[in-house]
Amino acid sequence: MIKVVDAEAWLADLEVETVRTDAVQAFLKQETVFVRLTTDDGNTGVGYSYTIGTGGSSVLAMLRDHLLPRLVGADAALVEQAWSDLFASTRATTVGAITSLALAAVDTALWDLRCKRAGEPLWQVAGGFRQKVPLYDTEGGWLHLGTDELVAGALASRAAGWRGVKLKVGKPRIEQDVERLSAVRDAVGAGLDIMVDANQSMTHAEARRRAAAFEPLELAWFEEPLPADDVEGHAVLARSTTIPVAVGESMYSVGQFRDYLARGAASIVQADVARVGGITPWLKIAHLAEAFNVHICPHFLMELHVSLVAAVPNGRYVEHIPQLRAITRSRMRVEDGHAVAPESPGLGIDWDFDAIDDRRLA
């Protein structure tokens, strides 16, 4: 038995590295929740999750008041057991965002411990399919950027050897979206994947109109066109367009992904390890998607997701949105348009705890 003898959580406020806007919101800061677990053999594991500006203190309260006291004394080697026990203890608040974000901070810390004890990197312990995975860029595609800026960003990504770029859509008029996307496609040609993301901003009728207008542009996927709880709407849309429909960043349980896949409502799943409750459920979602012959291309958290995408056979892309550089000593390696999963044991993130403490809120 590897007993957890100490469990602590804290909250740090991390400013965004660049201005980020989409059709419904602006990403102004990252509230980052950390968990550190210490075991009786002297090892420590650090995990984390995040919000994009609100709710961090609520996640912290869930950890301090409910999850971490229950975890002390548990066997850190039994990760599935720990996750299931904590989930069962919070049934009154599941499935819900606050609980899932709190579970993720604990679960990633447990996986950090598991990998360190094994002396192996996360991408190998979680599956070990391959070490390099294709990379696409979102930082050059935000909605407030002008057409010339979108084109310049896409050309820079292509020149760097990256495999794709994602552009935000949801301008007030359909022709505005089409003009922006067409300019980028004309500039980069057919050799670069272009993804678009509506951030749940559209009605079903508008999503069908825009999908029809976007089809000549040969897009890699149409992301979150409708509210995340509209499974039927996504299923109908998926049947009406040749553009793959992508969903998942705003979903919080394995069951939600099961419903989408069973209904044919998603051609790409984008599970975010923080939002689904950690690495343990993330891997279940990835393998579920594989059973439906569907790729997984996770949302955000590139420093962690690079290892998970590398772990599974159906991992297709890592999303480039750097956000941790101010509080880490490590950087994600990029080679020939591919993100390279870290080789160091654990999650592969070298935290700068002095920098984190400077941003600590609670």
Euclidean distance between CA atoms 126 and 310, whole angstroms: 9
State the catalytic residue, choosing from 168, 295, 305, 338. Answer: 168
Question: How many CA atoms does the CB half-sphere of 327 hold within 13 Å?
Answer: 22
144 is catalytic: no
Determine the Cα angle at 197 with ends 181 and 242, to 5°: 75
Find the helix or strand (DSSP H, E) in which 8 lies.
strand 4-21
Find the helix or strand (DSSP H, E) in which 194 lies.
strand 193-197
168 is catalytic: yes
Euclidean distance between CA atoms 80 and 77, whole angstroms: 9
Q: How does strand 44-51 pair with strand 26-39? A: antiparallel
Euclidean distance between CA atoms 11 and 33, whole angstroms: 5
State the catalytic residue, choosing from 116, 166, 299, 320. Answer: 299
Determine the Cα angle at 197 with ends 227 and 297, to 5°: 95
Tell me the catalytic residues.
Answer: 168, 299
